[in-house]
Amino acid sequence: MKKILLGALPFFCMLVIITFISKAKPIQHLKEHSVTVQHGLLTLPAHTDTDIFSINGQWHFTPNQFYYFSDATRPLYGPFPGRLSETVMQTDYGYASYGLRIVGLNPDKVYALQLNHILSSCTIVINGIDRAGQGQPGISAQTEIPGKTISIATFKPLKNGTADVIINMSNFHNRYGGTDQSITLGSAEMLNQSFVFNLLFYNIACTVLLLFSMFFIVLHLNYKKMPYILWFAFTAITISIRISVFYPHILAHIWPSIPWKLYFVLRYSSMPLASLFFTVFIKKMFNIQHKYIYWGIISICLISTAVIACFPTSFISRYLYIQQAIIFIATIYNAIIIIQALLKKQRGAGWIAAVLSILAGFALYDTLVSQWVISGKLLLQEGAMVAIIIAVIMSIDGYATSIYEIERLVEEQKKIQTALRRFFPNQLLLFLQKNSITEIHTGDSSELSMTVLSIDIRSFTSISEQLTPDEVFVLLNKYFALVAPIIRKYGGVIMKFLGDGFTALFSQSPDRVVACGIEIQKRLQEENIQLRNLPPIRAGIGIDTGKILLGVIGNDSRLDSVVISNTCYTAEELQAATKIYSNTIIISESILKLLQDPGVFHIRCVQEAAVIDGRELPVLYEVYDCDIPDMREKKQKTASYIEKALKKIQEKSYANAKTYIAKSLEIFPDDPLALHYQKVIQEAIYNL
């Protein structure tokens, strides 16, 4: 709950600022009244500065003329708000004049008429003077310049308290000519203050959304565990752009000279792009998709955006319903995905369900308004802003949880690393011939003859993928807690951690290192370290001996030890070879030669020296003391057959090698090594 409140804090501050601004101005006391125009005449009731009037009704109408209050020869009327096609013109393309006489005004006060966005352009003439406009009306598509924002026409009534209003209107670029929103009349001061307040409110909202979007993009670049957040940021940016091109038209005030075509493209393309980004966001967040529908929506949204950018505006606006259908399909698809996520009880599904419900409700309302089914203001941008705020709070909550989890896991990892380091500092000092850690300096080094043991957990990746981060660390902790003391017992020091494995150095004789490997394998078999019903931990061990260069690198603030040696690489290669030959411990020929009493151990050859594709393969031996008695006995009986088979393979006498492998399999049918070479021989014979 604290994280949610923290995420909501910036928006709470924004609301406090806006509330303070609104309290400083008396706009909250405005009283709106609806008045009706009859035959081009509007008589206002008694009123004060806080009264504003929403004007609807039948205005004088003169087709194919500008600056005509009315046609004296034949009185014509047209609905306002309304479309040109609802007049005698019966078409949405063309130009005309609307006329209105207002009586009952206070001649000592200054009034204003506010006309919301017209499709496509207009000028407002009051008492014979051009007061405001949107674009430039024309008598053709070539002479018309469509408008981009609302108009507020300030005027003072005549001495008799009247005002004659003419609205010159033309449309050659949009699907409808006219407006579906009432014209507003009121005190100039109050209407201007109301507009400035709305401009400030939406400007703050856009800025906050853009800042959060930038924050999430930067956060994504540094932390990629939540890839869906990038697409959420893109969605928020698109919604911010949409807010800026609708009432109160922030972008048009910031960039007055913006080309109308670009303004149109931004208005119309914002929704398919927002649908695209939101669909990808949902897919990335819940990892649920219906492949063909998903890619179909993505493709259609991209095509729709391209069409909006390239085709004439009249074509695009006329087929707006197709775009709305695309958005509807995307909304339904995302709703299905969210329902599936809710059923699976996925984290964040409830938040996103609330977001989509808000978006769907406002989108339905806007669709009805845009199709002129109902009259009103397009509100999807407001709904989207609320939805984005909810999603931002959700994302902050998610990030806070993730960061907390990361910190907890890092702290746990530090504890494990600290515990493991306790096993080797003293030996490191001895190897470097130092008495105290204070004697260690950059560049200290020593060439030593060492035996190297490399160990790695088998199939650790597949096991860890089925565990939570906590469980992975629990498993590793148990594993290292078992293995590290055995390394120390035999005089070894762990020098290099490799996630699920490590490299250890021994100054002791190779016999003790081999004994160390055997004890590790036996203890792993006895303890059967495992979680859930997953396979217990098993490990492969490789052992080699030779010269190493041990040294200290770093600077005054950070020192680290490093081992430079081909022996370490060879030990890792031997450890990797245990996967090929399906055994647990492999030693090099160098180790075998240095063993004081090889007969103490159970050893058999698993690979003869050879050159394959220019690469020299060394002689390798398996130590199988950790096998169960029955398996050890069978391996011992077949060791001579295996060795003879390997020599025949080396001589490319595959028929004889096949005979020896067959004899070995008669004694030990399940011997992984014999089965491996049986396959090798078959492939060699086939390729002859």
**Token pair 């929403």 is at which residue?**
54
Question: Rounded to two decimals, what is the model's pTM?
Answer: 0.54
Q: In the predicted model, is pLDDT for residue 1 greater than 60?
A: no
Least confident of 321-335, 545-559, 594-608, 630-644: 545-559
Q: CA 38 to CA 149: how far, in whole Å?
A: 28
Q: In the predicted model, is pLDDT for residue 431 greater than 80?
A: no
Residue 538, helix vs strand vs coil? coil
According to the model, what pLDDT value does residue 287 have?
A: 87
According to the model, what pLDDT value does residue 633 have?
A: 92
According to the model, what pLDDT value does residue 236 have?
A: 81
According to the model, what pLDDT value does residue 365 have?
A: 67
Question: Which residue would you say has higher pLDDT here, 451 or 555?
Answer: 451
According to the model, what pLDDT value does residue 28 have?
A: 53
Q: In the predicted model, is pLDDT for residue 340 greater than 60?
A: yes
Indicate the burial class of 297 (C-beta count within 10 angstroms; 0-12, 13-18, 19 or more): buried
According to the model, what pLDDT value does residue 181 have?
A: 80
At the top level of CATH, the class of 31-194 is mainly beta
Question: Which residues have C-beta within 8 Å of that of residue 392, sequence separation ≥ 6?
Answer: 7, 11, 209, 212, 236
Domain ranges within the chain, ordered by starting residue: 31-194, 198-395, 427-627, 630-687
Kindly tell me the sign of the dihedral angle through the C-alpha atoms of 567, 569, 575, 580. Answer: negative
> pLDDT tens digit string along 70-95?
988 888 999 999 889 999 999 989 99
Q: CA 244 to CA 355: how far, in whole Å?
A: 21
> pLDDT tens digit string along 256-284?
889 988 988 998 898 899 889 989 988 98
Superfamily of domain 427-627 in CATH is Nucleotide cyclase, GGDEF domain (3.30.70.1230)
Percent of the chain with pLDDT over 90: 33
User: Taking all residues of the chain, what is their mean pLDDT, rounded to a whole number?
Assistant: 83
Does residue 632 contact residue 625 with C-beta atoms inside 8 Å? Answer: yes
Q: In the predicted model, is pLDDT for residue 444 greater than 80?
A: no
b/e sequence 455-494, b meaning 16+ C-beta within 10 Å: bbbbebeebbeeeeeeebbebbbebbebbbebbbebbbbb
pLDDT classification of 285: cutoffs 50, 70, 90:
confident
pLDDT classification of 558: cutoffs 50, 70, 90:
low
b/e sequence 127-139, b meaning 16+ C-beta within 10 Å: eeeebbbbbebbe
Amino acid type, 387: A
pLDDT classification of 424: cutoffs 50, 70, 90:
very low
pLDDT classification of 591: cutoffs 50, 70, 90:
very high
Q: In the predicted model, is pLDDT for residue 62 greater than 50?
A: yes
According to the model, what pLDDT value does residue 207 have?
A: 81
Q: CA 541 to CA 483: how far, in whole Å?
A: 12
Question: Which residue would you say has higher pLDDT here, 446 or 67?
Answer: 67
Query: Quick one: which H or E segment has residue 146?
Result: none
> pLDDT tens digit string along 496-534?
777 778 888 998 889 999 999 999 999 999 888 888 788
Q: What is the 3-state secondary structure (H, E, C) of 569-630?
A: HHHHHHHHHHHHHCCCEEEEHHHHHHCCCHHHCCEEEEECCEEECCEEECCEEEECCCCCHH
Query: Mean of the pLDDT values across residues 18-40?
Result: 70
* Structure tokens that stand for 104 in this block: 């009952």
Q: CA 32 to CA 55: how far, in whole Å?
A: 11
> pLDDT tens digit string along 601-660?
999 999 887 655 556 678 899 999 999 999 999 999 999 998 998 898 888 888 898 999
Start-end of H helices in 436-468: 460-464
